[in-house]
Amino acid sequence: MRPGLQQIDGKRRTFTGAFARFGKKDRYRPKKVGNEWVAYDVTVLLVDVQDIDGNPITDHLWFNYTKGFESLGDLQEGDVIRFDARVRPYVKGYINQRTYIDDREVDYKLAYPTKVTRVQ
């Protein structure tokens, strides 16, 4: 769990993180992009996420590749990105219906990133 985020649950704050790489996650239903169907969404991995005062928040976070990140242009590994986001809880873990396994727990993430800019 991320205790630094748990303390500010529901609050909107400014954060910074270093771009590490792009990724992708499978979609339940493909969507049409241009003339082709895409079965995944692009994601962005930020590492060394800190609050505006430089206090470490978490070692990494994944975000959807939204228009805010797209507007930054060509991202290179190590680019520092500043953004505003709201702290939200989510349930992570594995559940299996056939044999009762329930390894879920509540964790915290940063959601709804806005004012995404590259720090010089």
Domains of the chain: 3-119 (2.40.50)
pLDDT tens for residues 41-63?
Answer: 899 999 999 999 999 988 999 99
pLDDT, residue 8, reads 82
Label residue 111 exposed, middle or buried (CB < 10 Å: 0-12, 13-18, 19+): middle
pLDDT tens for residues 61-115?
Answer: 999 999 999 999 999 999 999 999 999 998 887 766 666 666 778 888 999 999 9
State the pLDDT confidence band at 6, using cuts at 50, 70 and 90: confident
